Structure 1
Amino acid sequence: MSDFLQVTTTAADRTTAADLARSAVRARLAASAQVSGPVTSFFWHLGEQGEGEEWQVTLKTTAERYPELEAHLRREHPWDNPEVTALPLVAASDDYLAWLRRTVNPEQ
């Protein structure tokens, strides 16, 4: 796994998405977070196809902090089974990665 990750989740409204982003950054589980939307999602849920508007939250963190970030998002999210996915950051400037690592370090 990459040392650095881009994590996403979705929420039903902007307020919930912003609360998730804010609380993760405040807890230093993510160095930054962006809320975008609404986006239109198409999905299967409870055996039925659905679609709806959602707000996407994109967070940057380290692989080391990911388990705590995932637990935080699952605990704070109003949905029983929210999307929490992560993709490796395969390239970024050295200065940005140093800032990201420093920012999510709870000792700083």
Structure 2
Amino acid sequence: MTEVVQVSTATGTREQAVQLAESAVRGRLAAGAQVVGPVVSVYWHRGEFGTGEEWQLLLKTTVERYPALQTHLLEHHPWEKPEVVAVSIVAGSEAYLRWVADSTEPDA
């Protein structure tokens, strides 16, 4: 079975998150994406404590396609050092996992 990961990042606006989602899915770097928000973030940035409203972007892809997705997100993200992390999906329906794999085939 193909290894699948969920990749997350966040943006300052809904529109930015949707643009990243659309470009990643259209490019077959991710099978699908959800934009969630707004969410409240609490963080340290440049030595200062802060809070802010962000839009979370969750994308599903294969382990094989993750490096290309990461590169895409970092190149097109509006922030200088965005969070781009992946967590393994340890279980899922076979049909769903196959859909992710099929949808992220570069030549599909």
Give structure 2 stretches of 5+ with no counterpart: none
- The alignment's TM-score, normalised by the length of structure 2, stands at 0.97
Paired residues, what number?
107
Q: Which runs of 5+ in 1 are unaligned?
A: none
Distance 2:99 2:16 in 1: 27
Q: What CA deviation, in whole Å up to 9, does each residue of 1:11-67 have, x standing for no partner?
A: 000000000001000000000000010000000000011000000000000000000
Query: What RMSD, in angstroms, separates the aligned Cα atoms of the two structures?
Result: 0.9
Letter of the structure 1 residue corresponding to residue 63 of structure 2: A
Identity of aligned residues (%): 53
Q: For residue 14 of structure 1, what is the aligned residue in structure 2?
A: 14
In structure 2, the partner of 1:104 is 104
2:82 aligned residue = 82
Tell me the TM-score normalised to structure 1 length.
0.97
Secondary structure of the residue that 2:99 maps to in structure 1?
helix
Q: Secondary structure at the match of 2:107?
A: coil
Map 1:19-98 → 2, pairs under 5 A: 19-98=19-98
